[in-house]
Amino acid sequence: MTSSHTDSTILSVLAKRVSPRPPVWLMRQAGRYLPEYRELRAKAGSFLDLCFTPAFAAEVTLQPVRRFGFDAAILFCDILVVPHALGQTVTFEAGEGPHLAPAIETAAGLSQLTGTVDLDALGAVFETIARVRSALPSQTALLGFCGAPWTVATYMVAGHGTPDQVPARLFAYRDPVGFEKLIDLLVQASIDYLAAQFRAGVDAVQLFDTWAGVLGSAEFDRWCTKPAARIVAGLRQKIPDAKIIGFPRGAGTSLLRYMEDVPVDAIGLDWMIDRSFARNKIQSRRPVQGNLDPLALLAGGAALDREVDAVLEAFSGRPFIFNLGHGILPETPIAHVEQMLRRVRKSHS
C-alpha cells in the first residue's frame, strides 16, 4: 500500500526530499509511440476493452517501464472511465477520439446519470493495479489517476473533445447552480475512485485538469481549485497519507492560488509556464513535476538537448520530478526518448 515503497525516488520527492538526479516518468508513457503498445492494441478490440482487460492493461502499463526503466509506472486507463461508471455511454472511435452519449448539455441531463460512481463497473481497473504492483520492482512507484471534475465535465457536456470547451463553459455561465451539481457528482466520484485505487495498491495519484487553462480567473477558482481542494480533503479522510500530484494545465499565474488553496504534494507544470516564476513562486514551497515541451521531444536533436538542459537548470537542486509538460505525442521517435533519458540521468543537481 501507500507507504511500503520507501526506496522510490518519486515518493521521496513527494515527501519534499531532493534527489541527486531527478526521477523521471512521462505522461502518456504507455501508448501509440511504442510498437509493443500498437501490437497489443490491435489484439485487444476496442480501447475500453484494452482498459478493462487486466492482463492487457497491466502489460501495457509495464511496457514503457521495461523498455526505459522509468521511475514510475502510470496505470493504463483513461479519465473517461468515470463518466462510463456514472452511466454515460463512452466509446472511442479510431482516429476520432471519444464519444459520450447522451451529452449532458443542461442540468436536466443529470437525471440520465446514476448518482454515484459504480466501482464494480471499474473492478478490472483495480485488478490491473494489483497485478502491476506485484510485477514492479519496489523502487518503481505505481501512479493512479483521474481527470479533474472540470476536465471530465467538458467531455460529458459536449459529448466529445472540443477545442475551446465551449459547451461546458456556456453551461457553467448560463446555469452555474446546475453545473455545480455535475461538478459535485464528479468530486464525490473522484474521491471514491481514487480511494479505491489506493486500496488496490497505487503509491500516489495524479489529478489531470487538462483544460483548466480556458477558465477565467473566477471560474478557475470555482471549477478547478475548489473541486481539487475538496477531492484532496475527501481522499485524505479515507486514505490519510494519500500522495497527490495536481496538474492544472494552462493555469499560468493562477498556479499560485491553486498551490495555496489545494494541499497537493506536488504541482505539475505545463511547458508554457514561465520557469523563473515556477521555480521562485511554486517550487520554493512545493515539489514540482514537468515541464519539457512534448514538441521538443518530438523534434529531437539540439533543440531537445537545449530544452532538457533548461528544464534541469530551472528545477534541479529542489524537489523535482522530470516529466513532460503534457502527454507524449504518438509520432515521437523512441530514439528521442532515449536521448532525453541519457541527458537527464547524467545530470546532477
Does residue number 41 form part of the binding site for ligand CP3 (CB under 6 A)?
yes
Cα 35 from Cα 19, distance rounded (Å): 32
**Residue tagged 483495480 (cell numbers):** 126
Nearest CB to ligand CP3, comparing residues 26 and 279: 26
Does residue number 123 form part of the binding site for ligand CP3 (CB under 6 A)?
no
Burial letters 218-235, b for 16+ CB under 10 A, else e: ebbbbbbbbbbbbbbebb
Contacts (CB under 6 A) with ligand CP3, residues 160-199:
161
CB of 2 to ligand CP3, least distance (A): 20
Type of residue at 152: V
Does residue number 28 form part of the binding site for ligand CP3 (CB under 6 A)?
yes
For residue 165, count CB atoms less than 10 angstroms from its CB and return exposed for 0-12, middle for 13-18, buried for 19 or more.
Answer: buried
- Indicate if 169 belongs to the active site: no
Cβ proximity of 40 and 337 under 8 Å: no
The answer for residues whose C-beta is within 8 angstroms of residue 7's C-beta and 6 or more apart is 138, 139
Among residues 189, 194, 270, 258, the alpha carbon closest in space to that of 223 is found at 258
Among residues 251, 323, 274, the alpha carbon closest in space to that of 294 is found at 323
Binding-site residue total for ligand CP3 (CB under 6 A)? 23
Beta-sheet strands, E only, within 234-330: 244-248, 266-268, 288-292, 320-324
Options 72-80, 132-140, 162-170, 251-259: segment touching ligand CP3 (CB under 6 A): 72-80
- Indicate if 78 belongs to the active site: yes
Nearest CB to ligand CP3, comparing residues 163 and 240: 163
Contact with ligand CP3 (CB under 6 A) among 21, 32, 238, 318 = 32
Cα 19 from Cα 201, distance rounded (Å): 24
Contact with ligand CP3 (CB under 6 A) among 34, 74, 215, 340 = 74
Does residue number 321 form part of the binding site for ligand CP3 (CB under 6 A)?
no
Does residue number 132 form part of the binding site for ligand CP3 (CB under 6 A)?
no
Does residue number 149 form part of the binding site for ligand CP3 (CB under 6 A)?
no
Nearest CB to ligand CP3, comparing residues 65 and 278: 65
Does residue number 145 form part of the binding site for ligand CP3 (CB under 6 A)?
yes
Cα 348 from Cα 228, distance rounded (Å): 34
**Residue tagged 505539475 (cell numbers):** 268
CB of 56 to ligand CP3, least distance (A): 12
Does residue number 344 form part of the binding site for ligand CP3 (CB under 6 A)?
no
Q: Which three cell numbers stand for residue 162?
A: 472540443
- Indicate if 28 belongs to the active site: yes
Report the Cα 178 to chain-centroid distance in Å. 26
**Residue tagged 489545494 (cell numbers):** 262
Report the Cα 341 to chain-centroid distance in Å. 21
Among residues 280, 284, 287, the alpha carbon closest in space to that of 243 is found at 287
- Indicate if 258 belongs to the active site: no
- Indicate if 32 belongs to the active site: yes
CB of 44 to ligand CP3, least distance (A): 9
Q: Which of 33, 155, 193, 258 is catalytic?
A: 155
Nearest CB to ligand CP3, comparing residues 117 and 279: 117
Instruction: Work out whether strand 89-93 and strand 97-101 pair parallel, antiparallel, or are unpaired.
Output: antiparallel
Contact with ligand CP3 (CB under 6 A) among 63, 128, 210, 289 = 210
Options 2-10, 26-34, 191-199, 275-283: segment touching ligand CP3 (CB under 6 A): 26-34
Grouping H, G, I as helix, E, B as strand and the rest as coil, residue 264 is coil
Does residue number 30 form part of the binding site for ligand CP3 (CB under 6 A)?
yes
Does residue number 78 form part of the binding site for ligand CP3 (CB under 6 A)?
yes
Nearest CB to ligand CP3, comparing residues 215 and 279: 215
Q: Which residues bind ligand CP3 (CB under 6 A)?
A: 27-32, 41, 47, 74, 76, 78-80, 92, 97-98, 145, 147, 151, 161, 208, 210, 327
Positions annotated as catalytic residues are 28, 32, 41, 78, 155
